[in-house]
Amino acid sequence: MNRRFSTQKKMIAEALQLLDHPTAAEIYGEILKDYPQISLGTVYRNLNTMAGEGEIMRLPFSDSPDRFDQNPNEHYHIVCNRCGRIFDTDCDAIPPELLRQLDKVVEASTGVAVESRTMLFSGICPACKKNS
Amino acid sequence: MNRRFSTQKKMIAEALQLLDHPTAAEIYGEILKDYPQISLGTVYRNLNTMAGEGEIMRLPFSDSPDRFDQNPNEHYHIVCNRCGRIFDTDCDAIPPELLRQLDKVVEASTGVAVESRTMLFSGICPACKKNS
DNA sequence: TTTGATGCAAATGTTTTGCATGCAA
DNA sequence: TTGCATGCAAAACATTTGCATCAAA
């Protein structure tokens, strides 16, 4: 099952660089400008394989379509409650010992050993705070 | 817009006590036994208003239907990667100063002030660990 | 030439919603 | 009697998938 490097995948990778945490539909819309025959299914299929192989990150949201992050390295996100923009933490922003402390209290309370965590923060971004 | 206390809402509240972090469909199935004319739409509508009024908690998942928690007070969850069961932390399990530290590093890295966080942990529960 | 990737459209699964009717206050 | 809540069914929405065809290696 050797992977081929299709034109479409190339364009998806480019769109991911160009756009800021886009949804699949936004990537689709961007590529549509230059390559009108692309299909949304292809965009999803490629994003899924890329995420599965650790090339990109998929960011699930409870109330809106998933978004994709071209940076696959461990980092976290904060969403602006007003404009919806997503901001990345640096990869080393959260000290490992802080995560370990978190895990420990969860384990102590539930009896289940933590293997991984999903964390999403929210607040009001500086730009939105300014004009309010 | 005074809220009325319908038979259906009563049964939904009961099902929430009886079942363990159920989905809307599971609540629907439970009520169906005693009250065959209930509709799934009604279950969703009631769960939404209850969550909106802070009576219960809605737990979103990226890859499966949302679940509901009869305990509306701040606490966190860990999902077993094998059996899918959800375990609650105690309400005071995570020390406020730990959360404050987390918020601080996120703010320092992104420039956005944290207002709230969503955290979901996962691991293997003791029961699943035993028979493996 | 081989077979993985694509485009299209239909299917999926969850959740919401419009509307006529029912029922709690 | 009033108008919020219900049941039903259709719609909305994000995402996946079956299949014939295309194209990368």
Tens digit of each residue's pLDDT (9 = 90 or more) over B91-127: 999 999 999 999 999 999 999 999 999 999 999 999 9
C-alpha pair distances (Å), A61 with each of A22, B66, B77: 12, 12, 17
| For range B1-7, the mean pLDDT | 87
Q: Which residue is nearest to nucleotide D25 (CA to C1')?
A: A4
Residues A35 and A79 in one domain: no
Are A56 and A100 in a shared domain? no
Range of B26's domain? 1-70
Strand C footprint, Cβ within 7 Å:
A 1-4, 6, 8-9, 35, 37-42, 45-46, 49; B 4-7, 23-25, 40-41, 44-45, 48, 60, 64-66
**Percent of all residues in chain A with a pLDDT value above 90, rounded to a whole number:** 96
If asked whether residues A62 and A116 sit together in one domain, one would say no
Start-to-end CA distance of chain B, whole Å, equals 54
Confidence of residue A37 (pLDDT cuts 50, 70, 90): very high
Question: How buried is B47 (Cβ within 10 angstroms: 0-12 exposed, 13-18 middle, 19+ buried)?
Answer: buried
Taking residues B29-52, report their average pLDDT: 98
**Residue with tokens 């999803």, as numbered in its chain:** A44
Domain-terminating residue out of A37, A70, A103: A70
Q: Which residue of B has its CA nearest to A117?
A: B121
Phi, psi of B97, rounded to the nearest 5 degrees: -70, -25
- For residue B132, the model assigns a pLDDT of 82
Which of A25, A49, A70 is at the close of a domain?
Answer: A70
- Does residue A73 carry a pLDDT above 90? yes
pLDDT at residue B3 greater than cutoff 90: no
Task: Note whether A30 and A81 are same-domain residues.
Answer: no
Instruction: Kindly state the average pLDDT of the residues A22-26.
Output: 98
Identify which of B76, B106, B121 has the shortest CB distance to residue A78: B106
Nucleotide nearest to B37 (CA to C1'): D7
B40 touches strand D (CB under 7 A): yes
pTM above 0.85, yes or no: yes
Nearest protein residue to nucleotide D14 (CA to C1' distance) is: A65
Same domain, B105 and B48: no
A83 Cα distance to chain centroid? 17
State how far the Cα of A88 lies from the Cα of B116, in Å rounded to an integer.
16
| pLDDT score for B1 | 64
Q: What is the mean pLDDT of chain A?
A: 97
Q: What is the mean pLDDT of residues A57-78?
A: 97
Structural domains of chain B, count: 2
For residues A81 and A66, state if they share a domain.
no
The whole-number pLDDT of residue B131 equals 87
Give percent of chain B above pLDDT 90: 95
Looking at the structure, do residues B9 and B65 belong to the same domain, yes or no? yes
Q: How far apart are CA B69 and CA B61, in angstroms?
A: 13
CATH code, domain with A9: 1.10.10.10
Q: How confident is the model at residue B2 (pLDDT cuts 50, 70, 90)?
A: confident
If asked whether residues A66 and A79 sit together in one domain, one would say no
Mean pLDDT of B12-20: 98
Among B20, B44, B70, give the residue marking a domain's end.
B70
Q: Do B61 and B110 fall into the same domain?
A: no
In a shared domain, residues A46 and A30:
yes
> Residues A14-35: what's their mean pLDDT?
98
For A59, half-sphere exposure in the C-beta direction (CA atoms, 13 angstrom radius) is 26
Q: Residue A1 pLDDT > 80, yes or no?
A: no
Residues A66 and A116 in one domain: no
The answer for residues whose C-beta is within 8 angstroms of residue A53's C-beta and 6 or more apart is none
User: Which of the residue ranges A50-59, A94-103, B2-11 would you say has the lowest mean pLDDT?
Assistant: B2-11
Tokens 């209290």 belong to: A105
For residue B73, give the 3-state DSSP assignment: coil
